[in-house]
Amino acid sequence: MAHMSIQLNREQFLRLAELAGVLRDDAEACARDKRWRAAALLIAESVEAALLGTIRCCETELRAAGAWPTDTRPLHHMELGALLTVARDAGWLVPTLSHTGDSVESLGGDVGDAIRFLVEVRNIAAHPGRAISGGRLPGLDLTDDALMAMTYPLLEGIAGAVFEKLSAVINALPDLP
């Protein structure tokens, strides 16, 4: 049974868009203070907020295209990976590289590929088990200031590219809710 949707009104969309910006600003502040775990989590959260807002705004178009999630949970309870699946199915963040297990290789593709790197860094930051094993990025150490000073700008660039793609989707809508 598909869940019923509560349309996102204009005020809620604007609040969500503002939240995405605040989260991104907070991520940048954490990066300046070399609080890499927090920076990685917050930059990923900003992308998640932007995805959620865009998906909600495009519900009619997504349903018509058969790209609306079939998950029975409310949209606002879905995790980043499920929201990214909707974005891929909608054609917003389409990977161009064959899916390999190597998240670093994904940086050589389009933003639909590179988002895998951001998600993996976020997973390492969020999950203690991945933090000790390195997940799909075994050399990533969030406590290594020199490494993270090079890694965080990649995360920021990926987030910026996602925001550009999603802004184009929103701007193409005939009307905001």
Question: 87 to each of 73, 82, 132, 149, 166, how far by Cα in Å?
Answer: 17, 9, 30, 29, 9
In a domain? residue 86: yes
Quote the CA–CA distance of 38 and 150 in Å, as a whole number: 16
Dihedral sign, Cα of residue 108, residue 81, residue 41, residue 25: positive
Q: Which of residues 136 and 26 earns the better pLDDT score? A: 26
The answer to whether residue 106 scores a pLDDT higher than 80 is no
- Tell me what percent of the residues of the chain surpass a pLDDT of 90: 56
Boundaries of domain holding 84: 10-171
Phi and psi at residue 9, to the nearest 5° = -85, 170
Phi and psi at residue 114, to the nearest 5° = -65, -25
pLDDT digits (tens, 9 = 90+) for 48-64: 999 999 998 898 899 99
Mean pLDDT value of segment 72-97: 90
In a domain? residue 26: yes
In a domain? residue 154: yes
Tokens of 32: 């300046």
